[in-house]
A and B are shown apart, each in its own frame.
Chain A
Amino acid sequence: MRKEDTVKLISAEGFEFVVHKDAAMVSQTIRNMLTSPVVGSFAETQHGEVTFPEISTTILEKICKYFYWNLQFGKETEFHIEPELTLDLLGHCPFCHWMFEDKIVA
């Protein structure tokens, strides 16, 4: 895939996930960051990178998988969530605030 069609999401531990922009923009928050007309408000996104210092690698990976699952929703697959991840995903970390305001929880 072409670099300009991707975005790099970086976890708290510094792990980098390169995902399609289409997928990342399932999240309204990321969409806003990438399309914000205010120059300089999200400096790092100009380089196609978003860092989430409060999201662990495991959780960010799950979120990325969700983005792709969301895109192909309607096909007969189930989205698998490990029981031990549910509470973290639901906000056992400051990340929840981000999630609240986001389309992925709407």
Chain B
Amino acid sequence: MGGACSRKRDQREGEDNVSGGVSRRYGKSGSSKWLATSFCRQSSDIQLGKGKCPSLMDLCIHKIREDIDKYNTFSMLPRDISQLIFNELVYSQCLSEVSLEAFRDCALQDLYLGEYPGVNDSWMDVVSSQGSSLLSVDLSASDVTDDGLTHLKDCINLQALNFNYCDQISDHGLECIGGLSNLTSLSFRRNSAITAQGMSAFAGLVNLVKLDLERCPEIDGGLVYLKGLTRLESLNINCCNCITDADMKPLSGLTNLKVLQISSSKVTDCGISYFKGLHNLSLLNLEGCPVTAACLDSLSALAALLYLNLRRCCLTDNGCEKFSRLGRKLKVLNLALNDITDTCLGHLKGLTSLESLNLDSCRIGDEGLVNLTDLKQLKCLELSETEVGSNGLRHLSGLINLESINLSFTVITDGGLRKLSGLTSLKSLNLDVRQISDVGLAALTTLTGLTHLDLFGAHITDSGTNYLRYFKNMRSLEICGGGLTDSGVKNIKDLSSLTLLNLSQNCNLTDRTLEMISGLTGLVSLNVSNSRITSSGIRHLRTLKSLKSLTLESSKVTANDIKNLQSNHLPNLVSFRPE
């Protein structure tokens, strides 16, 4: 078969945020920053009438989608074609329980119905009719129950099953899949009905490579059934508060493990000691676990370790000299929200492969930063809410690979910022600090690669905005210190790459501001709360067709004004305030 039909079976990899903390998918984030990256389901990937000439097959599939009710079956089509039709109906949300019937016995391989509206047990008969052809099924956030799972018993070639957020599945359902020994990937996130009893079915899944039980609060005692799953490479039991040291013992022999996530569990240093033999482990997430520096004894045996998350643990300076024994390969280290001081930083000196270091809310100050001077590979450094001041910044001047620094809520002042002026790789800089002013900004005009600049609480006035003109690539800008007027916005209106702009709390901004930024057509998120914006002013926003989020709280604009704007001019707007 030709390239047209080659499906990317790995296309769904990478949805997991293995390097970060806990998955936020399905979560409602209060921050507007997520808008710029992910959003709701993309509609059809077959875009007719735009750009490239559609193929005859695209045209046929599009036609079928339009008249889907006229088709009784696609089973006479080659399965790759019916797979494409199926995918197109799912993407465009045109698939219903009725039209699903046309896909009975189509030998489909992938049924990605995660978050698809209306999926329940009555869909399962057609799902299972794909029989031995079926390789992967995603029914996340559906109403499928244990009864529905019984249908899958005969789909013996299944490799991947995803039942995240299916709260009607319990131990009985797991029994049904215990015989699917070809499974390599299995996911049951946020399920409170799964217990050790049901997990006994996992013992037969000898080919399992990836298991995800994040937010399953009753699974303690069940990991013992994973003992024989020697092919397991990734285990995610983040946010399973029931998990204790005893649960770690069965993992000690799973030497193929590369990714292990046990954040927010009850595992202590004693539990970590079972990991000593996991010589392939490259990512370990211990966020929020009650571990101390004593666990570093065990972790120092993990030569392959690249990512270590110790955020919100019980680390103190006591025993922190053991950090110097961590694997030399370590690239990412998160120590945020631990009670560690400059003393601890002294023991990080030798971790010269580090690319990312998070020290958010640690008790570190200027003196400690001298220990970072040899960490030349550092790209990302979080120092927010620390005692770091201007004197400490000189130790960062030589870290020329830095791309991101967070200095919010530190005690730095304008005078220190010139120490950062040579860091020309910087893309993201957070200076959400009250005592930073126009003077500090003037020292940063060499940083022409900046794409994200957060001056939320800084005291920036109209005159300071003159320096913003140097940042032509700016995509995200926040200036909310109250010192801006319309005349300062003149220097913002030409930052044509902006996708996020937050000018809230500048109570002197008027409709004139909206008029000036009406040319920033790439804007996805805009906040001009606490201003003098009026109902009449928002007409200037009609040109901002990409806008997804608009916040105009405490202005003279009403929810109805925005709703009118949304329905007549801004079809992409999904989040707005006042609402």
On chain A, the residues within 8 Å of B55 by CB distance are 103-106
Nearest-CB residue, chain B, relative to A65: B56
**Do residues B77 and A87 form an inter-chain contact, with CB atoms below 8 A?**
yes
Residues B56 and A91 in contact, CB atoms below 8 Å apart: no
Which listed residue, A78, A81, A100, A101, touches B60 by the CB 8 Å rule? A81
Quick one: closest B residue to A74, CB to CB?
B53
Is the beta-carbon distance between A106 and B56 smaller than 8 angstroms?
no
**Contact string against A for B residues 56-83, beta-carbon threshold 8 Å, 1 for contact and 0 otherwise:** 1101110110010011001011101100
A83 within 8 A of B: yes
Residue of B nearest to A83 (CB): B67
CB-based contact A81/B4 at 8 Å: no
Q: Could you tell me if A100 and B63 are in contact, using CB atoms closer than 8 angstroms?
A: no
- Contact status of A102 and B77, CB under 8 A, knowing A70-B53, A81-B59, A81-B63: no
| Total count of chain B residues near the partner, CB < 8 A | 25
Interface residues on A, range: 20 to 34
Q: Which chain A residues (75-102) contact chain B, with CB distance < 8 Å?
A: 78-79, 81, 83, 86-87, 89-92, 96, 99-102
Residues of B within 8 A of A83 (CB): 63, 67, 70
Tell me the interface secondary structure of chain B in the complex.
helix
Given A101-B2, A106-B3, A106-B55, also A92-B60 (CB < 8 A): no
At the interface, yes or no: B5 with Cβ under 8 Å from chain A?
yes
Task: Tell me if B1 is interfacial: C-beta within 8 Å of chain A.
Answer: yes
Residue of B nearest to A72 (CB): B53
Q: Is B78's CB under 8 angstroms from A106's CB?
A: no
Is A66 within 8 A of B1, CB to CB?
A: no
Cβ-defined partner of A99 (8 Å) among B57, B63, B64, B74: B57
B77 touches A100 (CB 8 A): no
Q: Please, which residue of chain B has its CB at the minimum distance from the CB of A70?
A: B53
Q: How far is the CA of A93 from the CA of B322 in the complex (A)?
A: 69
A30 interfacial contact with B, CB 8 Å = no
SS class, residues of chain A in contact with chain B: helix
Set of chain A residues within 8 Å of B81, measured between Cβ atoms: 90-91, 96
Check B53–A73 contact: CB distance below 8 A. yes
Question: Considering the chains assembled together, what is the distance between the CA atoms of A42 and B363 in angstroms?
Answer: 79
Across the interface, name the chain A residue whose C-beta is closest to B76: A92
| CB-based A-B contact count at 8 angstroms | 63
Known contacts A70-B53, A102-B2; is A96 also within 8 Å of B60 by CB?
Answer: no
Is there contact, CB below 8 Å, between B1 and A100? yes
Min Cβ gap A78→B in Å is 8
Most buried by A among B1, B53, B60: B60
Chain A residues with CB under 8 A of B63: 81, 83, 86
A91 near B1: Cβ-Cβ < 8 Å: no
Please measure, in the bound complex, the distance between the C-alpha atom of A103 and the C-alpha atom of B510, giving whole angstroms.
55
Contact with A along B1-24 (1 / 0, CB 8 A): 111110000000000000000000
In whole angstroms, how far apart are the Cα atoms of A105 and B58 in the complex?
A: 7
| B-side contacts of A99, CB under 8 Å | 56-57
Q: Is the CB of A91 within 8 A of B77?
A: yes
Which residues of chain A are within 8 angstroms of B1 by Cβ–Cβ distance? 100-101
Q: Cβ of A89 and Cβ of B56 under 8 Å apart? A: yes
Q: Are A105 and B59 in contact (CB under 8 A)?
A: no
List of 8 A-B pairs having minimum Cβ-Cβ separation, nearest first? A105-B57, A73-B53, A101-B2, A105-B4, A100-B2, A86-B60, A81-B63, A105-B55
Question: B residues within 8 Å of A by Cβ?
Answer: 1-5, 49, 53, 55-57, 59-61, 63-64, 67, 70-71, 74, 76-78, 80-81, 85
30 residue pairs of the A-B complex, CB under 8 angstroms, read: A63-B56, A73-B53, A78-B49, A81-B59, A81-B63, A83-B67, A83-B70, A86-B63, A86-B64, A87-B74, A87-B77, A90-B57, A90-B61, A90-B85, A91-B77, A92-B76, A96-B81, A99-B56, A100-B1, A100-B2, A100-B4, A100-B78, A101-B1, A104-B55, A104-B57, A105-B4, A105-B57, A106-B2, A106-B4, A106-B55
Q: Give the B-binding residues of A (Cβ under 8 A).
A: 63, 66, 70, 73-74, 78-79, 81, 83, 86-87, 89-92, 96, 99-106
Other A-B contacts than A81-B59, A83-B63, A101-B2, 8 sampled, CB-CB below 8 A, are: A70-B53, A87-B71, A87-B77, A90-B61, A90-B85, A92-B77, A102-B2, A104-B57
